[in-house]
């Protein structure tokens, strides 16, 4: 993912500074395709070179599928949700997405699809991964407190690359914890209350700052 040039933003139309890129791997070939973004006067940079806007960061929608992958990095103008309708017309036609010849919106709607044949009474697994990297989280006083997880990864591509290698380990640890808790001799009321609160602790309600 590309870091925006100093003073450039993803919000306002009128400039073509690169702010987002999609990385594609097709067999032995790999390349990065840039999407363009514009200028916002108030956006300044931290000492380490990143814009201070809390909305600045990177997101990635990826898949581990080896074949049948198609994508679009833009749609049509999204007035009256036409961008979503255009995506659906494209996808429902043959299950594939066709890349646009040009970026239409300054905040383009990108899409990713995987096509496979599923035999009668059969099943297939389709895996998609949504990852993000936003370092400029603000506290209640609007000061930047950051996100601890962003100190462990360079950008969103680093997140998915490292997390994907640990998926089986992370799933096993999650199941080990849940099963260990459920098979304790605590009453059902205690178990329910504890697990319900754990889901909140893992949400945006509780945050771990950079320091």
Look at residue 14 in the predicted model and tell me its pLDDT. 43
When mean pLDDT is compared across 38-42, 154-158, 164-168, the lowest value belongs to: 38-42
Helix (H) or strand (E) holding 18: strand 17-26
pLDDT at position 58 over 70: yes
pLDDT at position 10 over 60: no
Nearest-CA neighbor of 165 among 176, 175, 177, 153? 153
Contacts (Cβ under 8 Å, ≥6 apart) of 64: 127, 129, 164
The most distant pair of C-alpha atoms in the chain lies apart, rounded to whole Å, by 63
23, 32 contact by CB (below 8 A): yes
- pLDDT tens readout for residues 29-57: 776 655 444 434 444 455 455 667 787 88
Calpha distance 169→159 (Å, rounded): 15
200, 206 contact by CB (below 8 A): yes
Q: Residue 196 has which token pair? A: 């319900």
151, 210 contact by CB (below 8 A): yes
Nearest-CA neighbor of 65 among 164, 201, 168? 164
- pLDDT tens readout for residues 94-145: 999 999 888 776 677 889 999 999 999 999 999 999 999 998 888 888 788 8
Look at residue 6 in the predicted model and tell me its pLDDT. 40
155, 75 contact by CB (below 8 A): no
Calpha distance 141→37 (Å, rounded): 29
**What is the torsional sign of CA 174, 176, 182, 185?**
negative
């Amino acid at each position: 993912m590309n870091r925006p040039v100093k003073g450039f933003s993803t919000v306002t139309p009128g400039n073509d500074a690169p702010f987002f890129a999609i990385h594609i791997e097709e067999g032995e070939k790999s390349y990065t395709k840039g999407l363009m973004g514009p200028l916002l006067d108030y956006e300044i940079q931290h000492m380490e070179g990143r814009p201070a806007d809390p909305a600045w960061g990177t997101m990635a929608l990826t898949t581990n599928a080896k074949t049948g992958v198609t994508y679009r990095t833009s749609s049509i103008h999204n007035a009256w949700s036409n961008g979503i309708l255009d995506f659906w017309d494209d996808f429902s036609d043959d299950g594939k997405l066709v890349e646009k010849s040009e970026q239409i919106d300054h905040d383009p709607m990108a899409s990713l699809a995987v096509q496979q044949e599923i035999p009668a009474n059969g099943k297939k697994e389709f895996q998609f991964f949504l990852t993000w990297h936003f370092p400029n989280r603000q506290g209640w006083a609007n000061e930047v407190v950051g996100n601890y997880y962003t100190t462990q990864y360079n950008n969103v591509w680093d997140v998915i690359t490292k997390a994907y290698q640990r998926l089986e380990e992370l799933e096993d640890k999650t199941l080990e914890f849940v099963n260990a808790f459920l098979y304790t001799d605590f009453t059902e009321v205690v178990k329910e209350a504890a697990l319900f609160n754990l889901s909140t602790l893992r949400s945006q309600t509780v945050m771990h700052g950079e320091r």
